[in-house]
Structure 1
Amino acid sequence: MITRVDVLNYLIKVNDVKNYLEIGVNRGKCFFNIKGAKQRIAVDPYFNFSFIKKIRYLVKNPHNFKNKYFEMTSDRFFDSHHKFLKNNPINLTFIDGLHTFSQSLKDTLNSLKYLSDQGIIILHDCNPQDKIAAFPASNIEDARIKFSSHKSWKNIWNGDVWKTIVFLRKNHPELTVSVLDTDHGLGVVKKIPTQEVLPTVFDSISNEDIPQLEYSFLASHRKELLNLVPIEIFLGKE
């Protein structure tokens, strides 16, 4: 499977990305495998990786001493670092923080303020494959408490990030929004006016409806809602 790391490194290479921002770093599984980008910016309320791991990474990648680490919520990061962000326009943002509609939308809209004109935002977890993975919990701990004993629980919680894709497509024609059909769904947001006419399914959805949309609605209208794109087409392999 082509993973988010593969897609991010591909975008960094073909777009000559200078500044990379990652929201929701956790153990650094993605962040420490990013190649290229002169400056990488990590944001998470709690970095769940050791100081030793960070040092080992820098020893192997000495050119990355410009990396910036902000151990705080994304809301606080955007509220407190206007000057830094204006002086360092982001070329590529990866959003993998709290997997809720409200927070993923907020992170996306905040990222857009500091995204370069040719920049791209990638959102993880936009294409959940079952009702449990898509359950709108407050966080993964709540999802585990609710479903850990359920026979269908796979320890996968995508939450309702997919609703952010629906909201953006419905309300922001100045953006082009799609989802790559790989690695739990990778949302792609670009500052390019969309050329598409929205599918008729959007006619039945108001902004007030979006937070209450259920997984069954996504399952019935997946391609239309998400603008689902095969990963091979995105990578130019088909």
Structure 2
Amino acid sequence: MSHSAAPTDERLSRHEFLTLLHERLRPRTYLEVGVSTGRSLALSSVPRVGVDPAYRIETELEGDVTLARTTSDEYFATTDPKDRLGGPVELAFIDGMHVFEYALRDFVNVEKHCRWSSVVVFDDMLPRNVDEAARDRHTLAWTGDVFWVAEVLRRYRPDLTVLPVDTVPTGVVVVLGADPSSTVLQDHYQEILDQYVHDDPQPVPDAILRRQDAWDARTLIRRPVWGLLHRGDRPWRRRERGLAEIQEALHQPDDYRRRRRAAREKAQHVVRNVRAGRVRPGTTPVAPAETPADTAQSLLAATTQAGLEAPRRIALLARGRRPALAREIRALRPGIKVVQVDARARAADVRLALASAGRLDAVVDLTPDRDGRAARARELLPHVRKGGVLVLPDAAGGDGVDVRTIPTLARVGVHGTHLWLRACHNAAEVESFFAERGFEVLFPEDYPIAEQAQLFRFARDVAGFGGSAMFNVAFATEPARVCLISAETYSPQNEAMIAAANGHRLTMVWCHADVPHGSGTGVDSRMHTPFTFDFDREGAFLKRVLDEPLPA
């Protein structure tokens, strides 16, 4: 994709670009190296730290600001900015000493305090001429030789996304995909200096002087990548998937938006079913009558309509105890156990009362809290057995109730198309293979952890690609058959331990790896190599496995 420079009078300044970046990214923390007069620091309103040995603040700084009058090397050697910010750095602006090795060390130090979704911006990365790029300053406008940092990051850290941006006057570079655990730059620091520290005049590449590959600032700001990065703090989002999504959001924004929209719609559909169950055809709201006897008869009729013929254990959740109603239910169904739970009690006490009752056939919510209906359903679901029902306040606000059955996802396929580590080249065909066999194919990380637990709760067949998404088999409450698909070089230690601890039957489906054993590459390269699923070999094997009886 070409990102040709805009005419000078249409370009954004670095401060205009930073302003828009704050608006789109909505970072919760901000770090700045090279404060100067405080103009760029004032663009942020979140907890922020500024480091500069000679700052001279001329702009009013409001809110939570910490200034450190020291060099960046000294600051990072003695201070952890996360302690002051309350969390990782989500946006950093590096505009310190305009000398290559200083800027490189600033990035190394800043990255240690980031998460994968953090954004790091370098200033003065696109000099307009060789004089501006000199290590020894002799011009009014001066970038120094910091432009070499972008090339070093591309060469030594290909996992990072390095984006030059055409801003006035001397351009910026945006770096995405940070890895705070990486030591590559430190390990090769002297080697890098030997290659990239040059005597003046600097051999500035012509592509940099002409801003040949630079993004137009407005085009970059409009990309959907910033929302993705803002959500990167969520614990179920992993770096390997995030890196692939960054590329898609930058270079295929329409496809990314369509995929995200489809994922949201699917998530809403599946989660809605998991939260409140599926209404069986023909089930209608049942209006409770005025007398306890009529109410008991109506509620039991509602559970029968939902397919629950003879409930043996139900819970009544109400504001206060309903002994008359409980007596009428027992009279209509001799032998039934009715557990009464006071909804006015503390949430922890309500959960304890429900948990103490054992697995319930039905929970009847008699509280009038219709606004909290979905949240109430989520709270009650773990206490209802598979095939049981929830009786909830009518969503329409009438006097009736909605009867919902607890859904059962018996076969779950774990979606892995968007992983760049351990990627299956023909993942879409593999997912179709499972979908044709009745598997509900989904990507667990699209859901909060509580909803992931519900999705896997009653699964008896789980299949998917090796990785953390498959750890959800820990939530399966009954022995399950787990089919793990991965390269023959992959080590499934975690999945094997989880399966053993939960009594699941683990079947490994080994595929041909792009980087085979004995290739001479590192362990990580072999462990995370992409692979191809062979339908004649692995496909035939899986068909035989899935035709076998499920574990008892």
Q: What TM-score do the two structures reach when normalised by structure 2?
A: 0.34
1:48 aligned to 2:56? yes
Are the counterparts in 2 of residues 178 and 226 from structure 1 also a CA contact under 8 Å?
no
Superposed CA deviations along residues 87-134 of structure 1, whole A, max 9, x for unmatched, are 421000000000010000000111111112211000001000111110
Paired with 1:175 and 1:215, the residues of 2 have a C-alpha distance of 29
- Residue 215 of structure 1: how far off its partner (Å): 6.2
Matched residue, 1:166: 151
User: 1:120 corresponds to which letter in structure 2?
Assistant: V
Q: What aligned pairs does 1:89-108 form with structure 2 within 5 A after superposition? A: 89-108=88-107
Q: CA separation of 1:39/1:226 partners in 2, compared to 1, >3 Å: closer, same or farther?
A: farther
* DSSP-derived class of the 1:133 partner: coil
* DSSP-derived class of the 2:151 partner: helix
Paired with 1:105 and 1:157, the residues of 2 have a C-alpha distance of 17
Matched residue, 2:23: 13
Matched residue, 2:405: none
Q: What aligned pairs does 1:51-200 form with structure 2 within 5 A after superposition? A: 53=58, 57-58=60-61, 61=62, 64=63, 66-82=64-80, 84=83, 87-137=86-136, 143=137, 147=138, 153=139, 155-183=140-168, 184-191=170-177
Q: Pairwise CA RMSD of aligned residues?
A: 2.8
Are the counterparts in 2 of residues 126 and 158 from structure 1 also a CA contact under 8 Å?
yes
* DSSP-derived class of the 2:21 partner: helix
Are the counterparts in 2 of residues 165 and 226 from structure 1 also a CA contact under 8 Å?
no
Matched residue, 1:218: 204
Paired with 2:118 and 2:175, the residues of 1 have a C-alpha distance of 9
- Residue 177 of structure 1: how far off its partner (Å): 0.6
Q: CA separation of 1:225/1:109 partners in 2, compared to 1, >3 Å: closer, same or farther?
A: farther
Q: CA separation of 1:225/1:115 partners in 2, compared to 1, >3 Å: closer, same or farther?
A: farther
Q: CA separation of 1:232/1:14 partners in 2, compared to 1, >3 Å: closer, same or farther?
A: closer
Q: Which has the higher contact order (CA 8 A, sep 6+)?
A: 1
Tell me which moved more, 114-123 or 214-223: 214-223
Are the counterparts in 2 of residues 166 and 225 from structure 1 also a CA contact under 8 Å?
no
Matched residue, 1:233: 219
Q: CA separation of 1:175/1:223 partners in 2, compared to 1, >3 Å: closer, same or farther?
A: farther
Are the counterparts in 2 of residues 177 and 227 from structure 1 also a CA contact under 8 Å?
no
Are the counterparts in 2 of residues 218 and 225 from structure 1 also a CA contact under 8 Å?
no
Between structure 1 and structure 2, the one with the greater Rg is: 2
Paired with 2:14 and 2:76, the residues of 1 have a C-alpha distance of 24
* DSSP-derived class of the 1:209 partner: helix
Paired with 1:76 and 1:127, the residues of 2 have a C-alpha distance of 28
Q: What TM-score do the two structures reach when normalised by structure 1?
A: 0.74
Superposed CA deviations along residues 157-208 of structure 1, whole A, max 9, x for unmatched, are 1000100111111110121112101121101111169xxxxxxxxxxxx944
Paired with 2:107 and 2:15, the residues of 1 have a C-alpha distance of 19
User: 1:25 corresponds to which letter in structure 2?
Assistant: V
| Structure 2 unaligned regions, length at least 5 | 1-10, 180-190, 224-552
Paired with 1:225 and 1:176, the residues of 2 have a C-alpha distance of 17
Paired with 1:225 and 1:91, the residues of 2 have a C-alpha distance of 27
* DSSP-derived class of the 2:222 partner: coil
Paired with 2:209 and 2:97, the residues of 1 have a C-alpha distance of 24
Give the % identical residues.
25
- Residue 4 of structure 1: how far off its partner (Å): 1.8
Q: CA separation of 1:186/1:8 partners in 2, compared to 1, >3 Å: closer, same or farther?
A: same
User: 2:176 corresponds to which letter in structure 1?
Assistant: K
- Residue 229 of structure 1: how far off its partner (Å): 1.6
Paired with 2:110 and 2:44, the residues of 1 have a C-alpha distance of 21
| Structure 1 unaligned regions, length at least 5 | 138-142, 148-152, 194-205
Are the counterparts in 2 of residues 124 and 186 from structure 1 also a CA contact under 8 Å?
yes
Are the counterparts in 2 of residues 179 and 226 from structure 1 also a CA contact under 8 Å?
no
Are the counterparts in 1 of residues 126 and 211 from structure 2 also a CA contact under 8 Å?
no
Paired with 2:154 and 2:200, the residues of 1 have a C-alpha distance of 18
Are the counterparts in 2 of residues 86 and 114 from structure 1 also a CA contact under 8 Å?
no
